[in-house]
Amino acid sequence: MSNSPALSLPAETSWTRFSNFWTDFRQSPVAVAALIVVVVVVLMAILAPFVAPQDPYNQETLDLFDARLEPGEIGSGGYAHWLGTDAAGRDIFSAILYGLRTSLIVGVMAGSLALVLGTSVGLIAAYYGGRIEALIMRIIDLQLSLPAILLALVLVAMLGQGLMQLVAALVAAQYAYFARTTHGAASAERRKDYIEAALSTPLPARHVLFRHLLPNALPPLIVVATVQVANSIALEATLSFLGLGLPITQPSLGSLISNGFQFLLSGRYWISIYPGIALMLTVVAINLVGDQVRNVLNPRRSR
């Protein structure tokens, strides 16, 4: 601790912080590959209407003569179905692109809503303490002891089918993870002197919560958020596979897998397998990226 002016240190800008982050992130080639997969998947989902040869939402473009074509066969549309077609003559490649879209929208929406809800709940518990904290955290513990899929199943069965109902069920099943993480991080920060200084100024509660407590509790949440987006996608696929998610006319990866499941044993593997690979790639890639983000953000990581 010397009193010499800290002039040699450059002011920390968001750009230098990002470039430091990136330098650390690319230490892992696997994570970089996973990031590329994620970017490609997201781009394909966004650009689906331009990339896909067929619009699976438009029933009129489906031709029953094209049903169950093998991968690479040329259908009545005059173009090759590189991943084959399903029993209704749907082009699997197009269906996967649109399915990715639905899955990502559901995953990201459920993930971010769960982030907002869970973080608020966890912050309130950590800030107020006492009975409020005990009550909230016992409810969270109770919920975490139930399998998320069970809770989501019950909720979807109660709310009915549809995109919004599905998102609501996923949020309700997953906010508890965010609440627990936020509560842990925020309780640790809550005891630090700068929070005490803020309370003894005194600053208004919203300042203490959102300017002091939340930003310092955020790093672990970013990691949980990435992983939970992947979990939401997988959970949605499970629900759709079980027939409780989205209908096949509004394909998601889960409903596509479910759609081809009955043909698996008859040798028409492509209807289920290709959506399955797409789902696996997406979920694994997001998880790998999330893991590396956690490694980079954790200063005590082992190198």
Partner 1 sequence: MPAALLDIDHVSKRFVKQSNIGERIAALLGAGQKAETVRAVTDVSLTVAKGEVVGLVGESGCGKSTLGRMVAGIYTPSDGKILFDKVPVARSQGRRTQKLTTRVQMIHQDPFASLNPRIRIGDTVAEGPVAHSIVRSREADSYVADLLGRVGLDPSYRRRFPHQFSGGQRQRIAIARALAMKPDLLVLDEPVASLDVSIQAQVLNLFMDLRRDLDLTGIFISHDLGVVRHVSDRVAIMYLGRIVELAPTSELYANPNHPYTRALFESVPRVGVGRKDFRPIAGEIPSPLHPPSGCHFHPRCPFAGPRCKRETPPLAAIGPGRFSACHLNTGGTD
- Binding region for partner 1 (CB under 8 A): 1-6, 9, 11-12, 128-131, 134, 192-194, 196-204, 207, 211-212, 215-216
Residues 21, 146: Cα–Cα separation, whole Å: 36
- 28 or 216: whose CB is closer to partner 1? 216
Residue closer to partner 1, measured from CB, 185 or 271: 185
Q: Say how many C-beta atoms besides its own lie within 10 A of residue 146's C-beta.
A: 12
Distance, in Å, from the CA atom of 149 to the CA atom of 293, rounded to the nearest integer, reads 26
Residue 12: CB minimum distance to partner 1, A? 6
The residue behind tokens 């939402």 is 57
Q: Please name which of 115, 77, 145, 78 lies closest in space to residue 227, comparing C-alpha atoms.
A: 115
234 near 221, Cβ under 8 Å?
Answer: no
Query: How many residues make up the chain in this entry?
Result: 303
- Closest separation in Å from C-beta 193 to partner 1: 4
H/E element, 253:
helix 253-261
Compute the distance between CA of residue 190 and CA of residue 168 in angstroms, rounded to an integer. 31
Question: Closer CB to partner 1, residue 127 or residue 177?
Answer: 127
CB of 8 or CB of 266, closer to partner 1: 8
In the complex, the smallest distance separating the C-beta of residue 60 from partner 1, rounded to whole angstroms, is: 55
Smaller CB separation from partner 1, 106 or 221: 221
Between residues 183 and 212, which has the closer beta carbon with respect to partner 1? 212
CA 174 → CA 68, 159, 161, distances in Å? Answer: 37, 17, 19
d(CA 239, CA 234): 9
Q: In a 3-state reduction of DSSP, which class is residue 246?
A: coil
CB of 206 to partner 1, least distance (A): 10
Nearer to partner 1, 16 or 262 (CB): 16
CA angle 185, 187, 192 (to 5 degrees): 100
Task: Return d(Cα 68, Cα 260) in angstroms, integer.
Answer: 10
Kindly state the smallest distance separating residue 227's Cβ from partner 1, in Å: 23
In the bound complex, what is the minimum distance in angstroms from residue 14's beta carbon to partner 1? 12
The CB-of-191 to partner 1 minimum distance in angstroms stands at 10
